Structure 1
Amino acid sequence: MKITRIETIPYSIPFTKPLYFASGVVTSAEHVLVRVHTDEGLIGTADAPPRPYTYGETQASIAAAINDLFAPGLIGLSPLDRETAHAHMNRTVGNPVAKAAVDMALWDLVGLSLGVSVSQLLGGYTDRMRVAHMIGFSETDAMVADALRMRDQHGITSFKIKVGRHPIELDIQACLAVRDALGPQAELYIDGNRGWTAAESLRALHALDGVGLLFAEELCPADDVLGRRWLVQHSHLPIYADESVTTPAEVTREVLGGAATGISIKTARTGFTASQRVLNLCQGLGIEVVMGNQIDGQVGSLCTATFGAAFKATAGRPGELSNFLDMSNDLLAEPLAIEDGVLLLPQRPGIGIEIDEAKLDRYRQDR
């Protein structure tokens, strides 16, 4: 089986409720659907969610990188030639989301050709994941209502609360209110998206001492080298790295440099191949991980769950898999469902992605 062409389809689906956070806002899923075609008729599929304020990628740049830079060296390869494919793509620096989508589409092809799920190929630990929900910036009452809605309608009991606003008291009040509304049994952690300084971060953590947070994620900028180390040294909570760890090498830098004590893995930026390397590295270093969310639609959330369910280390903690619930529509022919706080993987070969072509035709932007 050989790759014959790679298709990039930009599309846009509005969110019913925008997600606000320290580094930006997402009002619609303006993503790129990536399809890798083969001479045997099999098509590998994945999603590329551009985040220009985080990785510098846009819909146009993702399509250009794949079509103009990657595809000429990938056409003619077997989907099994993943190391050769990555060697070619890595001649171009950056572009993590574009590379990740191609990688996952190749894994999808391997699973489809063998008639087994990619989650089984990766590790096969379980067929489900507990779900964590991200709560974006809003008025405190609205943030509380969002958490209660997800708990009451979908059984979700783990929540990431976006922080990083000024004054910091806005976020302190919101976290206290969410804890009060959900009670002590809910799992809560915070994500600053690099919005605070190290000093502000520590002051907020002290103020939140009684909330019972599990950990805090990416509170201050990645280039604040000394400030991040200082925060880890003085924090009573684990500090997780996210946007600052887009490669295994960056994971090594942040952990061994004392700037992080945990890692968020996002398949949208490291695919399955590099995510596996990040996970193995973290296990070797004794570092805990969480499966993060790139504000994915259902295709991206399915990819996250596929990887997360494959390993004991990632399946043991809820993955951020629910923000597609705030999209007005999606592309999957059989929508994902979250029940009792759990997302079940579809029992199909590959990743299990089946695109509703009518929906794709409605939302695609290249026609």
Structure 2
Amino acid sequence: MRISHIETIPYAIPYTHPLKFASGQVHTADHVLVRIHTDDGLTGIADVPPRPYTYGETQASVLSVIQDIFAPQLTGLQVHDRAKAWQIMNRTVHNETAKGAVDIALWDLIGKAAGQPVHKLLGGYTDKLRVSHMLGFRPAEELLREAQRCLEHYGIATFKLKTGQRPIDIDVEAARVLCEGLPAGVEIYVDANRGWSANEAIEFLRRTADLPITLLEEPNDAKEAMGRRRLVTQSPIPVVGDESVPTPGDVSRELLSGGCTAVCIKTARSGFTQAQTILGLCEGLGVDVTMGNQIDTQIGTTATITFGAAHEATSRRAAELSNYLDMSDDLIAEPLQIRDGAIAVPTIPGVGVQIDDAKLERYRLDKSPAKQTI
């Protein structure tokens, strides 16, 4: 089974309200749907969430690198030759989410050809993942109401609070309102998206030391090496690398140099193949992992579920799976369901995604003017 051609479809779906955080904000899911077609008629599917403020990728750059650079070199390749596909793609530096989507689409094809869910091929550890919900920049009382709604309607009992604002009083207040306003047993962790300096992060930890915050993610830019290592040494809770650890090499550097003590795995930027390598590094070193979110659609969220539920280590903590709830629509034919704070793993062959073609036609951006509908 060989790759016959690769299709990239830009599309845009608005959010009901923007998710704001220290490094940017998202109003619209301006993503790229990737379809890898084979000579025997199968199609592998994946979604690319371009994040210029995180990886430097845009919708236009994703389309260009896949169609102009990757596709000509990958066409004709055996679908199972994932290592060779990565070797080809890694000739081009960066472009993490474009590479990750190609890898996931290949895995989707492998699962479909085998008649098995990819979740089973990867390990099949559990049949569901607990859900963590991200809370963006909003007034503290609004954040509390959103968290209470997620707890009441979906049973979600883990929340990531976006921080990294100045003055830090804003984030201290939000953390305190959440921790004191939610029932005992609800988990709160924070993510500054590099918004603070190391000293500001240390001050935040000092002022919230009485709160049951469990993790501190990407508090400052990891390139500020001396400050970051001082912070990691002083932090009473794990410091999670995210933007600083997109590749296995980055993970090794940050863990071995003391830049973080836990790692966020995001399949959107690593695919499943590199995510396995990252997970192996962390397990071997005894480092906790989280399953993160690139403000994914339900397509990307399904990939996270597929990988996260396949392994014991990635299923220990709640995974960031629910921010698609803030989208006005989606391309997925069978919407995900959050029940009792968890999402079940799809059981159909492949990664588990089927596209609603009518919705794709509605939201795609590459239609000719004559076919555009209002």
Which range, TM-score by smaller chain? over 0.9
Matched, 1:227 2:227: yes
1:126 CA displacement: 1.1
Residue in structure 2 matched with residue 112 of structure 1 by the alignment: 112
Structure 1 letter corresponding to 2:118:
V
Residue in structure 1 matched with residue 27 of structure 2 by the alignment: 27
1:222, 1:331 → 2: CA distance?
35
1:181 CA displacement: 1.5
2:38, 2:58 → 1: CA distance?
26
Structure 1 letter corresponding to 2:193:
N
Residue in structure 2 matched with residue 323 of structure 1 by the alignment: 323
Q: Contact 2:32 / 2:49 at 8 angstroms: preserved in 1?
A: yes
Q: Deviations over 1:32-78 (max 9, x none)?
A: 00000001110000000000001000001001000000011110011
Runs of 4+ in 1 over 2 A off after TM superposition: none
For the residue of structure 2 that corresponds to 1:215, the secondary structure is strand
Residue in structure 2 matched with residue 343 of structure 1 by the alignment: 343
Residue in structure 2 matched with residue 141 of structure 1 by the alignment: 141
Output the TM-score relative to the length of structure 1: 0.99
2:366, 2:228 → 1: CA distance?
43
2:234, 2:332 → 1: CA distance?
45
Q: Contact 2:306 / 2:346 at 8 angstroms: preserved in 1?
A: no
For the residue of structure 2 that corresponds to 1:153, the secondary structure is helix
Residue in structure 2 matched with residue 291 of structure 1 by the alignment: 291
1:65, 1:329 → 2: CA distance?
27
Match runs of 1:191-230 below 5 Å: 191-230=191-230
For the residue of structure 2 that corresponds to 1:271, the secondary structure is helix
1:103 CA displacement: 0.3
2:219, 2:135 → 1: CA distance?
16
Match runs of 1:1-367 below 5 Å: 1-367=1-367
- What's the C-alpha RMSD, in Å, of the aligned pairs? 0.6
Q: Contact 2:97 / 2:268 at 8 angstroms: preserved in 1?
A: yes
1:171 CA displacement: 0.5
Structure 2 letter corresponding to 1:226:
M
1:183 CA displacement: 2.3
Structure 2 letter corresponding to 1:132:
S
Unpaired segments ≥5 residues, structure 2: 368-374
Structure 2 letter corresponding to 1:149:
R
1:149 CA displacement: 1.1
Q: Deviations over 1:124-143 (max 9, x none)?
A: 10111000000000111111
Q: Deviations over 1:254-297 (max 9, x none)?
A: 01101100000000000000000000000011100000000001
1:222 CA displacement: 2.1
